[in-house]
A and B are shown apart, each in its own frame.
Chain A
């Protein structure tokens, strides 16, 4: 029987991390997925990666989270070179990634999904659990309290006992974000958090992500197709094209940069309006441009 030792994931230092991606090359066979990608995320910044399909945004996230090993270049968290870290070890140094499909666990309730995140941080072995030893009871109580706070913060009370299979994609994403907060990340990688949810819900994501950013006190790197959302939310925008960074800077600068506009938007202005001003009542443009 595997009565596991306490999880080694000791509480990481709470401050947000600085991410530095330097000259990263990734080739799949002859295809240059990433061709010398470099950018930097200041501690506490929200960095948005935008670019057309196939421009290497998701590959960049894969490299940062360790799922893809780069042929050249480095990824540094603060001053640590991440080359030596396996993907599963990166959680321990404060890196958390949410996936595009956001499947979660269909048969678990929202409460259980969130408790599970706490389990990962503080595993209680089976033996003390079975015997209801005092520290096991205390740990379970502590987890429940932490989860309760997050549930309240994200307005999930209604769904507390709903199985995740019953939730809409939007709600599932909120649960996913809530579980991210529990993991106490220093660097958070979000892969298209608004994919597959309605425009109206996507608009609600802006304040939600802001709150997440404030509560979790973390650096965020965000891959997103909804350009207005990125401009609205991010302190820095990185525009990618064919595996290269073509422009990087604050949203205002990027908005004015014709090269960046051409890279991402092509000729269409419509996509710029996708998440347009809320007052417009939804507006005509969904993000067909993508």
Chain B
């Protein structure tokens, strides 16, 4: 395919980066082995330490080694603290815990801004204790790199030995095999778990401190999604179990990426190769992953407060829901009339995000496939819109965009046919990174075999302005008209998803998620059902993408909208809203898009509210906003019934004992609460 060549210094550079990925991968494997948690905050814990190190050495002029010890200690403390916070989530659906760690990473990012951690000069590089460098041909290996080349292998070997020979290592290995059994054999699983996170925290500190000097600022987000992706891939090659393999794979990943970058100039093509390689790695390693993940995966969705379908409540309660729903719809329809232009833009935005969240609700909430690339699918739809523009009627463009995206989604979902849904997070993350570069102006791909060129990117390198189309002769160019249009799309989507929930689609998806073997024995076609989830979800994300493009109108290649963090935002929406719930998806979009807007659309506030909000929601309100809504509905129904009974009593004359209905309702409420 491509003749790869690379000079020595590219290889050295690759090894240097690879050591960083390897260290990060070690932390991921440790935590996953112990708690079956994909810890997305693994990199960020160390950043706190790296920033603190700069603070100590630059501001307080402490001795380097003393500062180093303090910083690593701080990271260990942060690791342990994270475990204590997240501990109660460990037997809940894995995707909740994963999203909680995403929230944690945002909180840690905010932590680095605290005055006693943040150095006064942000652009001060992380210090290096010695000045040792040597040259390799024309290329100079800096002291930082020398340090990395020395420290990283030592840390790794120490860790591997510790896992193999210490009592902590033994306890951890026992716990990862069978936590209950280990517990009964006298392993203090909580203590072991905390200790693991402590070690992982310290490890993360090494990763960040070694990597920090070649970052421009000490305050960078070390958890850049691409760094995380490479580390995750390395960890997956180690089947999330084997530390040595994961570390070596990390180094290999570093070399591979550097060689790739040296040979393939286009970032989009690089990312495409990375995406395909990640897919291939997963498919090759899937057997080992299944073996390693079996116990964890079995408990993945149980005990979750997920009630995808809730029927069987009494008539009054149902009527309260219906009335509430129609009232909300009525208010939403009237709202664009009174909103300002700016707020109408926001209104459209929220509606479109809600549609995207709904698409993910089906995929993750029902089918159990974790996607961190949902906004990548939206990008596909948006690109279709950019290329078709107003040449075709809007509904046709939407259907076409949806269909194209559905095909892409099914392709992205192919690994899911053979592996547990959680690991799909990795391939979808790779997909999101690819799509981020695919919306650039340049990408053109020569299709193999037929020698046709397919250009995905924006037509104009700098700036693409998209004219809004008309819908059935009505112009959508005003923000108000577009707000109504977006609302219409959202309502239609809700209607569709409700049908899928109630009329037989959702139950098939949930059945395959909950018990694949059982469903197969029952005669449910597993492959078709899984692909169906991706197809439906992709279709919805695709037409949402078309709307998104027409809503934004101005797309340019510096746009951060298609950053993978937007996909994190979408998955946060459905978790905050209540996994698997339709109203939850809408409420989540409202909360994460609307609330930051009230605070002046400040990016930082948005991240902090979502980070803290995420953890708080997951910890204390597992059913999410949807559950709040349900409880509110219960209370209203209770109130109405109570009032009705009182009126009936008054009419009947002398006071009688209250009807049995009220206590019954209360009992149900209590029971419901207990069940959550």
Interface residues of A (CB under 8 A from B): 1-2, 4, 7, 9, 87-88, 91-92, 97, 99, 103-109, 111-113, 115-117, 119-121, 123-124, 126, 129-130, 132, 136, 140, 143, 160-161, 163, 165-166, 179, 183
**Interface bits B497-531 vs A (CB < 8 Å: 1, else 0):** 00110011101101101110111111111001001
Residues of A within 8 A of B517 (CB): 99
Q: How far is the CA of A183 from the CA of B524 in the complex (A)?
A: 12
Tell me, yes or no, whether B539 is within 8 Å of chain A by CB. yes
Q: Tell which of B274-282, B304-312, B346-354, B555-563 binds the partner.
A: B304-312
A103 x B518 contact (CB < 8 A): yes
Q: How far is the CA of A140 from the CA of B663 in the complex (A)?
A: 36
One of A105, A106, A129, A161 near B519 (C-beta < 8 A): A105
Residues of B within 8 A of A140 (CB): 503-504
Tell me, yes or no, whether B421 is within 8 Å of chain A by CB. no
Residues of B within 8 A of A119 (CB): 504, 507-508, 524
25 pairs, A vs B, C-beta closer than 8 Å: A2-B531, A9-B523, A87-B521, A91-B521, A91-B522, A99-B517, A106-B515, A107-B301, A107-B302, A107-B510, A108-B507, A108-B514, A116-B508, A117-B522, A117-B523, A119-B508, A123-B525, A124-B504, A126-B505, A126-B532, A129-B505, A140-B504, A143-B504, A161-B312, A183-B523
B312 x A107 contact (CB < 8 A): no
B504 x A1 contact (CB < 8 A): no
| A91 and chain B: residue at smallest CB distance | B523
B508 x A105 contact (CB < 8 A): no
One of B302, B524, B525 near A116 (C-beta < 8 A): B524
A1 x B507 contact (CB < 8 A): no
Distance to closest chain A CB from B259 (angstroms): 39
| A129 and chain B: residue at smallest CB distance | B503
B528 x A105 contact (CB < 8 A): no
Tell me, yes or no, whether B536 is within 8 Å of chain A by CB. yes
A120 x B523 contact (CB < 8 A): yes
Distance to closest chain A CB from B368 (angstroms): 10
A1 x B536 contact (CB < 8 A): yes
One of B309, B504, B518, B535 near A109 (C-beta < 8 A): B309
Tell me, yes or no, whether B406 is within 8 Å of chain A by CB. yes
Q: How far is the CA of A271 from the CA of B500 in the complex (A)?
A: 51
Q: How far is the CA of A136 from the CA of B500 in the complex (A)?
A: 12
A115 x B499 contact (CB < 8 A): no
How many residue pairs, one in A and one in B, have C-beta atoms under 8 Å apart? 113
One of A103, A113, A115, A179 near B504 (C-beta < 8 A): A115
Q: Counting chain A CB atoms within 10 Å of each CB, which of B308, B496, B511 scores highest?
A: B511
A-B interface, 5 closest residue pairs, ranked by CB to CB distance from nearest: A161-B312, A120-B523, A1-B535, A105-B514, A112-B507
Q: Report if A4-B528 is in contact (Cβ < 8 Å); known contacts: A105-B511, A116-B507, A161-B311.
A: yes
Q: Report if A130-B499 is in contact (Cβ < 8 Å); known contacts: A2-B528, A2-B535.
A: yes
Q: Report if A107-B306 is in contact (Cβ < 8 Å); known contacts: A119-B524, A160-B312, A166-B675.
A: yes
Q: Which of B386-433 contact A (CB under 8 A)?
A: 403, 406
Q: Which of B455-472 contact A (CB under 8 A)?
A: none
Residues of B within 8 A of A115 (CB): 504, 507
Residues of B within 8 A of A9 (CB): 523
Q: How far is the CA of A206 from the CA of B66 in the complex (A)?
A: 75
Q: Which of B280-316 contact A (CB under 8 A)?
A: 301-304, 306-309, 311-312
Residues of B within 8 A of A129 (CB): 499-500, 503-505
A120 x B503 contact (CB < 8 A): no
| B366 and chain A: residue at smallest CB distance | A107
Q: How far is the CA of A113 from the CA of B449 in the complex (A)?
A: 47
Q: How far is the CA of A132 from the CA of B496 in the complex (A)?
A: 10
Q: How far is the CA of A153 from the CA of B494 in the complex (A)?
A: 36
Distance to closest chain A CB from B542 (angstroms): 11
| B535 and chain A: residue at smallest CB distance | A1
A97 x B521 contact (CB < 8 A): yes
Distance to closest chain A CB from B425 (angstroms): 20
Q: Counting chain B CB atoms within 10 Å of each CB, which of A92, A117, A126, A132 scores highest?
A: A126
A136 x B503 contact (CB < 8 A): yes
What size tier do the contact residues of chain B reach?
35 or more
One of A1, A91, A97 near B539 (C-beta < 8 A): A1
| B301 and chain A: residue at smallest CB distance | A107
Residues of B within 8 A of A1 (CB): 403, 406, 532, 535-536, 539
Q: How far is the CA of A187 from the CA of B499 in the complex (A)?
A: 35
Q: How far is the CA of A270 from the CA of B519 in the complex (A)?
A: 39
One of B308, B311, B406, B503 near A107 (C-beta < 8 A): B308
Distance to closest chain B CB from A140 (angstroms): 6
Q: How far is the CA of A161 from the CA of B318 in the complex (A)?
A: 15
Q: Report if A2-B532 is in contact (Cβ < 8 Å); known contacts: A105-B511, A120-B523, A129-B500.
A: yes
B521 x A179 contact (CB < 8 A): no
| A112 and chain B: residue at smallest CB distance | B507
B309 x A112 contact (CB < 8 A): yes
B522 x A179 contact (CB < 8 A): yes
Distance to closest chain A CB from B540 (angstroms): 11
B515 x A105 contact (CB < 8 A): yes
B524 x A120 contact (CB < 8 A): yes
Residues of A within 8 A of B675 (CB): 166
Q: Report if A107-B514 is in contact (Cβ < 8 Å); known contacts: A97-B521, A119-B507, A160-B312.
A: yes
Q: Report if A105-B510 is in contact (Cβ < 8 Å); known contacts: A116-B524, A117-B522, A126-B532.
A: yes
Residues of B within 8 A of A107 (CB): 301-302, 304, 306-308, 510, 513-514
Q: How far is the CA of A107 from the CA of B519 in the complex (A)?
A: 13
Residues of B within 8 A of A92 (CB): 523
Q: How far is the CA of A7 from the CA of B504 in the complex (A)?
A: 15
**Interface bits B471-505 vs A (CB < 8 Å: 1, else 0):** 00000000000000000000000001001100111
Distance to closest chain A CB from B529 (angstroms): 8
Q: Report if A99-B521 is in contact (Cβ < 8 Å); known contacts: A107-B301, A107-B306, A126-B505.
A: yes
Distance to closest chain B CB from A94 (angstroms): 12
Q: Counting chain A CB atoms within 10 Å of each CB, which of B507, B519, B528, B539 scores highest?
A: B507
**Interface bits B646-666 vs A (CB < 8 Å: 1, else 0):** 000000000000000000000
Q: How far is the CA of A87 from the CA of B522 in the complex (A)?
A: 11
Residues of A within 8 A of B522 (CB): 91, 116-117, 120, 179, 183
Residues of B within 8 A of A91 (CB): 521-523
Q: How far is the CA of A108 from the CA of B505 in the complex (A)?
A: 12
B511 x A108 contact (CB < 8 A): yes
Q: How far is the CA of A113 from the CA of B515 in the complex (A)?
A: 11
Residues of B within 8 A of A109 (CB): 309, 311-312
Residues of A within 8 A of B539 (CB): 1
Distance to closest chain B CB from A221 (angstroms): 16
Q: How far is the CA of A109 from the CA of B514 in the complex (A)?
A: 12
Q: How far is the CA of A161 from the CA of B514 in the complex (A)?
A: 17
A88 x B520 contact (CB < 8 A): yes
Q: Report if A106-B523 is in contact (Cβ < 8 Å); known contacts: A1-B535, A116-B507.
A: no
B503 x A106 contact (CB < 8 A): no
Q: How far is the CA of A28 from the CA of B211 in the complex (A)?
A: 53
Distance to closest chain A CB from B63 (angstroms): 56
Residues of A within 8 A of B309 (CB): 108-109, 112
Distance to closest chain B CB from A171 (angstroms): 16
Q: Counting chain A CB atoms within 10 Å of each CB, which of B311, B508, B510, B523 scores highest?
A: B523
Q: How far is the CA of A9 from the CA of B522 in the complex (A)?
A: 12
B311 x A108 contact (CB < 8 A): no
A126 x B536 contact (CB < 8 A): yes
Residues of A within 8 A of B403 (CB): 1
Residues of B within 8 A of A87 (CB): 521
B515 x A103 contact (CB < 8 A): yes
Q: A112-B507, A124-B504 are in contact. List 9 more A-B contacts (CB 8 A).
A: A2-B532, A99-B518, A107-B510, A116-B522, A117-B523, A129-B504, A132-B503, A161-B312, A163-B307
